[in-house]
């Protein structure tokens, strides 16, 4: 597209020797207050080179610059140079680009040639896929989509929690109280039941813990019975998990979980020992990180068995060797902040520069209105139940409001599940929040259904008349304030996506979608679209069409479908 930002930077460059084009480009911004203009260039950094106060610099630049066709006005205000873009030119450039790129609009090639690994969800085998898991799962999937959209090669990994001493416990519990038939019918709650029972019984009978440890050792040594039971737990769990992923539209390239690294453990341990990074401490091995203000990291236990952290070291090393990533992202809750600090530091101590490319994208807790979520106590809320309930309630709403809608069930899924997902991604990542199904399903306010509804509204207009994006459009008819607001937002989409990926914040896109929907609804409210004046009708339809395209693209990036009718 005719990129205004670039064009303005080029224009400025002709008058500024003290900065490179790139440096200038970096500084060109959107004024917070749109009445100040569409773009602004702060002159503060030039003070030294120009030996002048910023407002003086702005004034003299204003005098020197010959205003090009795409700009209406340049003004110097308090050290800023403000640019007002010609509205007709702007509308034409933006809308033509949306109409030609369609589902690619907003994408770019900033990631070309770079490989990003995104690890997310990483649920634990034989444990509930609970409401708390929605965070990692959806933030991760959204980042996955955003990175792809920006041209990165991506690898989506589900680092399954399928290893560790808890599997020794589960084997013991299964052998004592497990009933295969009962468990197969409803695996997770039944496995959870016996797992909880193990903890209760072990309080009075500590020998159970010893037994569990020895079964885990057997598993590590490939004992056939241990492996068979472990495989059974894993297969049964994955069947259930995949059902949830399908409902959410979440996909992975790899399910290499913790167990995948069990045979890579000796190598990493040898390296740590050879490089003198580990020290013995009471029979175990640790890495002393005191110098860095970080508590020591446990690498092997007294009984020699490996640990979660050690598996993460092996996993990171493997990923670097196998994928040769440029960036290795982990979407994991803030409760594990220390864990990530520790092992990433250890990677650095091992002499690997790429420790810098390992990034912990953390997030706060999600609580349900009824209370917080916990696995051990058994009062856990399954994510799938929340999704099903959302779909069920949405269907009720549809039956009430639009009973003749075709595809009701499908649409109810798109809206109900989308609502839950949207609510999740609308929240700032590192904030704790309380989930409310009622608020989530509302068609008003800052919700998924609201955005989807706005999209469907645009679709419905476009169904009523034929609109040809190739036709001649008089863009000067889109220069009223509400139309201009919509155009300005459409233009911003790519920047929003780039920002979201830079900060690992899908909520940037979610918020943008709401803002675009709100502004479109103002436009829709203020401007009759299906008017007699053909030229006016056509211009407004072009805006409706473009908004529909961009809303759909934005929804897709935050993992929502965009039904045409609802
Ligand atoms: N399965 C872990 C849990 O539920 C999360 C795994 C996070 N990823 C990692 N590479 N450590 O706590």
The CATH number that domain 383-557 falls under is 1.10.730.10
Closest atom, ligand 1, to C-alpha of 161? 1
Could you say which DSSP state residue 387 is in? H
Angle at 107 between CA 101 and CA 110, to 5 degrees: 135
- Domain extent listing, the chain: 4-85, 120-368, 383-557
130 carries an active-site annotation:
yes
127 carries an active-site annotation:
yes
Question: What are the two backbone dihedrals, phi and then psi, of residue 75, each rounded to the nearest 5 degrees?
Answer: -135, 145
38 lines ligand 1 (CB under 6 A): no
268 lines ligand 1 (CB under 6 A): no
Could you say which DSSP state residue 434 is in? E
Closest atom, ligand 1, to C-alpha of 127? 4
Q: What is the 3-state secondary structure (H, E, C) of 99-132?
A: HHHHHHCCCCCCCCCCEEEEECCCCECCCCCEHH
From first to last of its 566 residues, what are the pLDDT tens digits of the chain? 458 889 999 999 999 999 999 999 999 998 988 888 989 999 999 999 899 999 999 999 999 999 998 999 999 999 999 999 999 999 999 999 999 999 999 999 999 999 999 999 999 999 999 989 999 999 999 999 999 999 999 999 999 999 988 999 999 999 999 999 999 999 999 999 999 999 999 999 999 999 999 999 999 899 999 999 999 999 999 999 999 999 999 999 999 999 999 999 999 999 999 999 999 999 899 999 999 999 999 999 887 777 899 999 999 999 999 999 999 999 999 999 999 999 999 999 999 999 999 999 999 988 876 544 444 445 678 899 999 999 999 999 999 999 999 999 999 999 999 999 999 999 999 888 888 877 788 878 899 999 999 999 999 999 999 898 888 999 999 999 999 999 999 999 999 999 999 999 999 999 999 999 999 999 999 999 999 999 999 999 999 999 999 999 999 999 999 999 99
Question: What are the two backbone dihedrals, phi and then psi, of residue 565, each rounded to the nearest 5 degrees?
Answer: -135, 145
Q: Rounded to a whole number, what is the largest CA-CA distance in the chain?
A: 87
Tokens linked to 244: 């949830």
Q: How many CB atoms lie within 10 A of CB 148?
A: 17
End-to-end CA distance of the chain: give it in Å, rounded. 34
Please state at what angle helix 408-426 crosses helix 224-248, rounded to 10 degrees. 100
- Cα dist. 308→227, 249, 299, 305, 311 in Å? 19, 29, 9, 10, 5
Q: Could you tell me which of 412, 415, 420, 413 has the C-alpha nearest to residue 368? A: 420
Report the distance separating Cα 350 and Cα 344, nearest Å: 10
Q: Could you tell me which of 546, 552, 545 has the C-alpha nearest to residue 462? A: 545
Q: How many CB atoms lie within 10 A of CB 401?
A: 10
488 lines ligand 1 (CB under 6 A): no
Q: How far is the CA of 339 from the centre of ligand 1 (A)?
A: 10
Residue with CA closest to ligand 1 atom 6 = 122
Choose one of 125, 256, 332 to mutate for the ligand 1 pocket test, by most ligand atoms within 8 angstroms of C-beta: 332
The catalytic residue among 5, 84, 92, 127 is 127
How would you label 86-125 residue by residue, b for 16+ Cβ within 10 Å and e otherwise?
bbbbbbbbbbbbbbeeeeebbbeeebeeebbbbbbbbbbb
Q: How far is the CA of 510 from the centre of ligand 1 (A)?
A: 26
Choose one of 118, 120, 122 to mutate for the ligand 1 pocket test, by most ligand atoms within 8 angstroms of C-beta: 122
- Cα dist. 363→129, 135, 366, 433 in Å? 17, 8, 9, 10
The catalytic residue among 5, 92, 130, 234 is 130
Long-range contacts of 25-33 (CB under 8 A, 24+ apart): 30/492, 31/80, 31/82
Q: How far is the CA of 426 from the centre of ligand 1 (A)?
A: 23
122 lines ligand 1 (CB under 6 A): yes
The dihedral built from the CA positions of residue 26, 31, 32 and 38, taken in this order, carries a sign that is negative
Burial degree of 454 (CB within 10 A; 0-12, 13-18, 19+)? buried
Q: Has domain 120-368 been given CATH number 3.40.50.300?
A: no
Residue with CA closest to ligand 1 atom 5 = 122
Q: How far is the CA of 391 from the centre of ligand 1 (A)?
A: 29
- Mean pLDDT for the chain overall: 94
Place of tokens 């779909």: 391
Question: What class is the 4-85 domain?
Answer: alpha beta
161 lines ligand 1 (CB under 6 A): yes
Closest atom, ligand 1, to C-alpha of 332? 7
Report the distance separating Cα 555 and Cα 566, nearest Å: 15
Choose one of 120, 127, 157, 159 to mutate for the ligand 1 pocket test, by most ligand atoms within 8 angstroms of C-beta: 159
Q: How far is the CA of 313 from the centre of ligand 1 (A)?
A: 13
Q: How far is the CA of 159 from the centre of ligand 1 (A)?
A: 7
Q: How far is the CA of 258 from the centre of ligand 1 (A)?
A: 9
The catalytic residue among 84, 92, 133, 169 is 133
501 carries an active-site annotation:
no
Report the distance separating Cα 169 and Cα 496, nearest Å: 47
Residues 6+ positions from 160 with CB-CB distance below 8 Å: 122, 123, 124, 125, 234, 255, 256, 257, 258, 259
330 lines ligand 1 (CB under 6 A): yes
In this predicted model, what pLDDT tens digit does every residue of 471-529 receive, in sequence order?
899 999 999 999 999 999 999 999 999 999 999 999 999 999 999 999 999 999 999 99
159 lines ligand 1 (CB under 6 A): yes
pTM of the full structure: 0.92
Q: How far is CA 448 from the centre of its chain?
A: 15
Q: How far is the CA of 101 from the centre of ligand 1 (A)?
A: 39
Question: What are the two backbone dihedrals, phi and then psi, of residue 254, each rounded to the nearest 5 degrees?
Answer: -150, 140
Q: Do you know the residue count of the chain?
A: 566
- Cα dist. 16→10, 20, 24, 557 in Å? 10, 8, 9, 39
Q: Could you tell me which of 29, 40, 35 has the C-alpha nearest to residue 79? A: 40
Tokens linked to 43: 């002159």
Q: Are strands 327-331 and 366-368 parallel, antiparallel or unpaired?
A: unpaired
């Amino acid at each position: 597209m005719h990129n205004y930002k670039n064009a303005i930077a080029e224009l400025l460059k002709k008058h500024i020797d003290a900065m490179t084009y790139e440096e200038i480009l970096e500084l060109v911004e959107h004024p917070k207050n749109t009445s100040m203009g569409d773009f602004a260039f702060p002159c503060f950094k030039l003070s030294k080179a120009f030996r002048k106060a910023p407002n003086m610099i702005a004034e003299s630049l204003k005098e020197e610059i010959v205003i090009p066709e795409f700009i209406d006005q340049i003004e110097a205000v308090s050290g800023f140079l403000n640019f007002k873009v010609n509205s007709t030119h702007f509308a034409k450039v933006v809308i033509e680009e949306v109409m030609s790129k369609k589902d690619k609009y907003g994408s770019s090639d900033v990631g070309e040639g770079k490989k990003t690994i995104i690890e997310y969800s990483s649920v634990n085998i034989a444990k509930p896929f609970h409401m708390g898991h929605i965070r990692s799962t959806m933030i991760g999937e959204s980042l996955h989509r955003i990175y792809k959209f920006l041209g990165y090669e991506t690898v989506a990994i589900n680092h399954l929690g399928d290893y560790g001493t808890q599997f020794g416990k589960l084997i013991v519990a299964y052998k004592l109280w497990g009933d295969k038939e009962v468990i197969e019918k409803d695996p997770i709650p039944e496995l959870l039941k016996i797992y909880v029972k193990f903890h209760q019984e072990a309080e009075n009978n500590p020998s159970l813990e010893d037994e569990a440890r020895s079964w885990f050792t057997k598993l590590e040594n490939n004992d056939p019975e241990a492996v068979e039971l472990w495989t059974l737990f894993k297969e049964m769990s994955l069947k259930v998990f995949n059902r949830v992923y399908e409902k959410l539209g979440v996909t992975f390239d790899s399910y290499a979980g913790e167990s995948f690294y069990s045979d890579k453990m000796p190598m990493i341990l040898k390296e740590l020992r050879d490089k003198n990074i580990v020290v013995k401490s009471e029979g175990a091995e640790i890495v002393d990180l005191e110098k860095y203000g970080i508590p020591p990291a446990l690498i092997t236990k007294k009984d020699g068995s490996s640990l979660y952290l050690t598996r993460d070291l092996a996993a990171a090393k493997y990923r670097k060797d196998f994928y040769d990533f440029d960036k290795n992202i982990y979407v994991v809750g803030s409760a594990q902040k220390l864990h990530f600090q520790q092992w990433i530091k250890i990677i650095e101590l091992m002499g690997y520069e790429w420790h810098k490319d390992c990034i912990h994208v953390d997030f706060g807790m999600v609580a349900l209105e009824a209370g917080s979520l916990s696995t051990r106590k058994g009062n856990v809320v399954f994510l799938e139940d929340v999704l099903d309930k959302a779909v069920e309630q949405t269907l009720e709403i549809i039956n009430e409001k639009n009973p003749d809608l075709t595809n009701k069930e499908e649409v109810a899924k798109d809206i109900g599940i989308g609502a839950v997902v949207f609510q999740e991604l609308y929240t700032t990542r590192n904030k704790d929040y309380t989930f409310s199904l009622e608020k989530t399903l509302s068609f008003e306010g800052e919700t998924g259904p609201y955005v989807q509804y706005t999209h469907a509204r645009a679709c419905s207009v476009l169904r009523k008349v034929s609109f040809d994006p190739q036709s001649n459009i008089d863009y000067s008819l889109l220069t009223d304030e509400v139309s201009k607001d919509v155009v300005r937002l459409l233009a911003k989409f790519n920047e929003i996506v780039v920002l979201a990926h830079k900060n690992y914040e899908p909520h940037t896109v979610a918020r943008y979608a709401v803002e675009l929907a709100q502004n479109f609804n103002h436009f829709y409210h203020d401007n009759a679209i299906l008017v007699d004046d053909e030229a006016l009708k056509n211009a407004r339809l072009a805006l409706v069409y473009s908004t529909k395209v961009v809303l759909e693209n934005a929804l897709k990036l935050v993992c929502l479908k965009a039904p045409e009718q609802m």
